[in-house]
Amino acid sequence: DVKVTQSSRYLVKRTGEKVFLECVQDMDHENMFWYRQDPGLGLRLIYFSYDVKMKEKGDIPEGYSVSREKKERFSLILESASTNQTSMYLCASSGAASYNEQFFGPGTRLTVL
Amino acid sequence: ILNVEQSPQSLHVQEGDSTNFTCSFPSSNFYALHWYRWETAKSPEALFVMTLNGDEKKKGRISATLNTKEGYSYLYIKGSQPEDSATYLCAFPGGSARQLTFGSGTQLTVLP
């Protein structure tokens, strides 16, 4: 059974804090993705990675960075959290081809106070 | 940024009704078209990945068609049930084709 796990379901942080969101997949997938979901805006891609140590910016990378040191793990980092980063964050993974479906984690609801 | 549009934005139907919604995407440089279902408090799950013009896929009461030349896909649900209530997302590979651009979704509510 395929699995994508995220380190926290709910997280509350203060403005200016450094925040780490971790994602682990057990399917040996090449691609991993970080999205945020906001009401009325759908799923927006923050960053993705197609290989270890490789990353590409998505549509809204500002204020975020990522790390992929191992194939199964993809971390999203908020260097200095701001209130406008309060959102639902979803991690996903997939095989390399464009026709490979993405498998999503359960999401992390982040609130920045 | 690619333009992937879905309509309608939301839909309320009665149990037993059949319904359909639309996904529009760029008709050039087509790779694939994905449909996902996202139920409340769960993660999005893939329904279909379609790659060929004229493709038609079916899973139970849900089916989808694809027209790559004109850039649209339809999702049909026959005899809607309350458990079909969810947001239905379509997604289109863009850029390097490694990533997906998602539409904003159609939120379906099936009333008992």
pLDDT in tens, A30-71: 999 999 999 878 899 999 999 999 999 998 999 999 999 999
Question: Which one, of A70, A66, A64, A25, lies nearest residue A51 by Cα?
Answer: A70
| Two structure tokens written together for A63 | 């204020």
Query: Beta-strand (E) ranges in A26-71?
Result: 31-38, 42-51, 54-57, 65-70
Q: CA of A111, closest CA in chain B: separation in Å?
A: 17
Interface contact flag, A90 B44, Cβ < 8 Å: yes
Render pLDDT for A60-73 as a digit per residue (tens, 0 to 9): 999 999 999 999 99
Query: Who contacts B98 (Cβ-Cβ below 8 Å, separation ≥6)?
Result: A31, A48, A50, A56, A96, A98
Closest alpha carbon within chain B to A97: B98
| Two structure tokens written together for A2 | 């395929």
- B96 pLDDT exceeds 70? no
Asked if B4 contacts B25 with a C-beta cutoff of 8 angstroms, the reply is yes
pLDDT at residue B95 in the model: 65
- B8 pLDDT exceeds 80? yes
Which residues are bridge partners to B60 per DSSP?
Answer: none
Hey, is the C-beta of B100 within 8 angstroms of any chain A C-beta?
Answer: yes
| Two structure tokens written together for A45 | 């891609």
pLDDT at residue A84 in the model: 96
Beta-carbon count within 10 A of B1 CB: 11
pLDDT at residue B98 in the model: 75
A58 to chain B: which residues are within 8 Å by CB? 99
Residue A78 C-alpha from the chain's centroid:
11
Closest partner residue to A50 (CB to CB) among B98, B103, B104 is: B98
The rounded distance, in Å, linking the Cα atoms of B24 and B3 is 8
Closest partner residue to B99 (CB to CB) among A58, A101, A107 is: A58
B31 to chain A: which residues are within 8 Å by CB? 98-99
Closest partner residue to A99 (CB to CB) among B43, B49, B104 is: B49
Q: CA of B68, closest CA in chain A: separation in Å?
A: 14
The rounded distance, in Å, linking the Cα atoms of B54 and A113 is 50
The rounded distance, in Å, linking the Cα atoms of B5 and B23 is 6
- Residue-averaged pLDDT of chain B: 92
pLDDT at residue A96 in the model: 86
Q: Which of A38-42, A76-80, B51-55, B67-71 is the least confident region? A: A38-42
Mean pLDDT over A84-96 rounds to 95
The rounded percent of chain A whose pLDDT value lies above 70 is 98
- B97 pLDDT exceeds 70? no
Render pLDDT for B22-45 as a digit per residue (tens, 0 to 9): 999 988 878 899 999 999 889 999
pLDDT at residue B1 in the model: 61
Q: Which residues of A10-29 are buried (b: 16+ CB within 10 A; e: fewer)?
A: ebebeeeeebebbbbbeeeb
Residue B50 C-alpha from the chain's centroid:
11
pLDDT at residue B50 in the model: 93
pLDDT at residue B22 in the model: 97
Burial class (CB in 10 A: 0-12, 13-18, 19+), B49: buried
Closest partner residue to A102 (CB to CB) among B46, B97, B104 is: B46
